[in-house]
Chain A
């Protein structure tokens, strides 16, 4: 019996959200507010159980020496953040923000350098001629490589900012935007299937689990 009840609850929320497609209405408003409120609480619990508790409380319990006492720094930064509750000294919270923004910058440099810049440049070092199993196979593979190298270069030129896109630069950057547009179309088309899968999942739930029609 309880499982029937909970299936109805799930179906109610599913339909309430879907009703949004027609127009804003009390059911959507209700579901939306319940969703925002309960998910906020959900993430507070998740943050506590999976992050803060093991990292801070667990850290103070199990770590030793410097590794333990250094945890005073984040605890202090946390307190600074909370000074926002006290208006006259709320500017102290900027110190904590400063740390997080500095972290963003540091991680930005190291992450982009290692994770994007170098691997992407290296992956573009492709030979213009590939020996294949036959003439046409070789031709096909070589043309593909040439297209990748030229497409990458043209796209980079599209992002050249400090000169008007006229003349040769204009021609290359227009080729770049052509590549970008083909890419966006393909990427859009590629995603449709995954999104429709989600809808099928919900519809199947309604028709099969709730209404027992199929």
Chain B
């Protein structure tokens, strides 16, 4: 009762400056409506947005409402190319007041370039530029240095030792799908491992979590054997599918570890909570374990339970490191240069924030 009386006493003020315009940077089918709320907004119990199609004379249609003060609404039920007019009604219980109808028609359309993402495009083009520059530089010769990565140096040793013990090698690609980059990076390491294994005539076992990854892994192992000149040793049954259940997969792999007793276990790819189940079981059977993942939350467990761990980016550098392909090594150099640029950028950004200059951080906030 009280708000009603008050609103009559003070008379509800309409919202001001109602504007309707095509929503920028979208694929069409959307108009944004904005307005300003008068001072006495404490009485507002409901805001309603009305739309008229074609002309201001058309019958108004309720297209959205809010139960709390808001100043923006996106109407996603419009069709491209048709002019629309809007007004906004505010209510205080049963009392209401309408705003003026927008004067200029709002017509939605799709954009061909997202201005909002311009900073992303700039960063991407610059980064690709660095990478391509060093790829071309590598093409014209000039060897590139890459620091030692212990986990990768250990691969050959692990395969060798496993063979000496007469045991198979177990390669686990994790729970990633093929659409995850860590899985693709892991396949590159798998290729190297299977090539080495073929040279030593050792068996590689690859149980898979995802059928597409299984297919890709089959092709990869086959290629690895072919490169070693031993396609005769490859058989499709080495790379097989288990199940797409996280812990069902862990249970199955644990079983394989206990019964086939691999001498070397590779855990490379995307891992979640099952990482430690696999790594601890692998440790309990006395295998050499080389792990690697980009999942930051699982890295501590790999560090604790396995012999060597590729931390994050080291895993991505692995394929270049192992293949010694100059073009791939070129991109590593490009990455390093980009890192230096980012470090400078971070320090500069922090310094600017300290001095109260915000345009750099605003530029990055545009995404």
Chain A interfacial positions (CB closer than 8 Å to B): 17, 20, 24, 28-29, 31-33, 35-37, 39-40, 42-43, 47, 81, 84, 93-94, 97, 100-101, 103-105, 107-109, 112-114, 117-119, 121-122, 124-129, 145, 149, 152-153, 156-157, 159-165, 180, 184-185, 187-188, 191
Given contacts A128-B354, A156-B343, contact A109 B124 (CB under 8 A): yes
What residues of A have a CB within 8 angstroms of the CB of B119 in the complex?
A: 118
For residue B79, CB closer than 8 A to chain A, the reply is no
Whether the pair B120, A114 counts as a contact (CB closer than 8 A) is yes
Whether the pair A128, B351 counts as a contact (CB closer than 8 A) is yes
What residues of B have a CB within 8 angstroms of the CB of A33 in the complex?
A: 255
Whether the pair A161, B336 counts as a contact (CB closer than 8 A) is yes
- The 5 nearest A-B residue pairs measured at CB: A125-B349, A39-B245, A39-B248, A122-B364, A184-B300
What residues of A have a CB within 8 angstroms of the CB of B314 in the complex?
A: 159
Given contacts A103-B179, A121-B346, contact A161 B317 (CB under 8 A): yes
> Which residue of the partner chain, among B312, B332, B346, contacts A125 with CB atoms under 8 Å?
B346
What residues of A have a CB within 8 angstroms of the CB of B150 in the complex?
A: none
Whether the pair B179, A159 counts as a contact (CB closer than 8 A) is no
6 further contact pairs, Cβ within 8 A, besides A33-B255, A187-B300, A188-B304: A32-B254, A40-B245, A42-B245, A97-B216, A104-B179, A125-B349
What residues of B have a CB within 8 angstroms of the CB of A29 in the complex?
A: 255
Whether the pair B178, A160 counts as a contact (CB closer than 8 A) is no
For residue B367, CB closer than 8 A to chain A, the reply is yes
Residue among A103, A152, A162 with max Cβ neighbours from chain B (10 Å): A162
Of B36-44, B60-68, B180-188, the one with at least 4 CB within 8 A of chain A: B180-188
- Nearest residue (CB) in B for A94 is B219
Whether the pair B123, A113 counts as a contact (CB closer than 8 A) is yes
What residues of A have a CB within 8 angstroms of the CB of B144 in the complex?
A: 162
Whether the pair B120, A36 counts as a contact (CB closer than 8 A) is no
For residue B58, CB closer than 8 A to chain A, the reply is no
Whether the pair A161, B300 counts as a contact (CB closer than 8 A) is no
> Which residue of the partner chain, among B212, B215, B258, contacts A24 with CB atoms under 8 Å?
B258
What residues of B have a CB within 8 angstroms of the CB of A153 in the complex?
A: 343, 346-347
- Nearest residue (CB) in B for A114 is B367
Whether the pair B251, A36 counts as a contact (CB closer than 8 A) is yes
Given contacts A81-B215, A149-B347, A157-B343, contact A104 B259 (CB under 8 A): no
User: What's the interface size class on B, roughly?
Assistant: 35 or more
Interface SS of chain B: helix
> A170 to chain B: closest CB distance in Å?
11
> B47 to chain A: closest CB distance in Å?
32
Question: Could you show 10 A-B contacts with beta carbons less than 8 Å apart?
Answer: A24-B255, A35-B251, A101-B178, A107-B179, A118-B367, A122-B349, A152-B346, A157-B339, A161-B335, A180-B311
Near A by CB (< 8 A), chain B positions 328-348 give 332-333, 335-336, 339, 342-343, 345-347
- Nearest residue (CB) in A for B366 is A118
> A84 to chain B: closest CB distance in Å?
7
Whether the pair B364, A101 counts as a contact (CB closer than 8 A) is no
> A27 to chain B: closest CB distance in Å?
12
- Nearest residue (CB) in A for B181 is A108
> A44 to chain B: closest CB distance in Å?
9
- Nearest residue (CB) in B for A154 is B343
What residues of B have a CB within 8 angstroms of the CB of A187 in the complex?
A: 296-297, 299-300
Given contacts A153-B346, A159-B312, A184-B300, contact A113 B215 (CB under 8 A): no
Whether the pair B345, A40 counts as a contact (CB closer than 8 A) is no
Given contacts A36-B251, A36-B252, A97-B178, contact A43 B243 (CB under 8 A): yes
* Per-position 1/0 for B250-263, Cβ under 8 A of A: 01101100110000
Alpha-carbon distance between A191 and B255 when the two chains are bound, in angstroms:
25
Whether the pair A163, B212 counts as a contact (CB closer than 8 A) is no
Whether the pair B350, A128 counts as a contact (CB closer than 8 A) is yes
What residues of A have a CB within 8 angstroms of the CB of B339 in the complex?
A: 156-157, 159-160
Alpha-carbon distance between A191 and B272 when the two chains are bound, in angstroms:
12
Alpha-carbon distance between A70 and B123 when the two chains are bound, in angstroms:
33
Alpha-carbon distance between A117 and B333 when the two chains are bound, in angstroms:
18
Alpha-carbon distance between A114 and B120 when the two chains are bound, in angstroms:
8
- Nearest residue (CB) in B for A152 is B346
For residue B153, CB closer than 8 A to chain A, the reply is no
For residue B303, CB closer than 8 A to chain A, the reply is yes
- Nearest residue (CB) in A for B340 is A160
Alpha-carbon distance between A100 and B259 when the two chains are bound, in angstroms:
34
Alpha-carbon distance between A97 and B220 when the two chains are bound, in angstroms:
11
Alpha-carbon distance between A168 and B241 when the two chains are bound, in angstroms:
48
Residue among B178, B181, B300, B345 with max Cβ neighbours from chain A (10 Å): B300
Near A by CB (< 8 A), chain B positions 220-275 give 241-245, 247-249, 251-252, 254-255, 258-259
Given contacts A43-B244, A114-B120, A153-B343, contact A100 B145 (CB under 8 A): no
Given contacts A39-B243, A161-B146, contact A24 B353 (CB under 8 A): no
What residues of A have a CB within 8 angstroms of the CB of B343 in the complex?
A: 153, 156-157
Alpha-carbon distance between A128 and B123 when the two chains are bound, in angstroms:
25
Alpha-carbon distance between A71 and B258 when the two chains are bound, in angstroms:
45
> Which residue of the partner chain, among B120, B248, B296, B350, contacts A40 with CB atoms under 8 Å?
B248
Alpha-carbon distance between A100 and B258 when the two chains are bound, in angstroms:
34
Alpha-carbon distance between A90 and B184 when the two chains are bound, in angstroms:
21
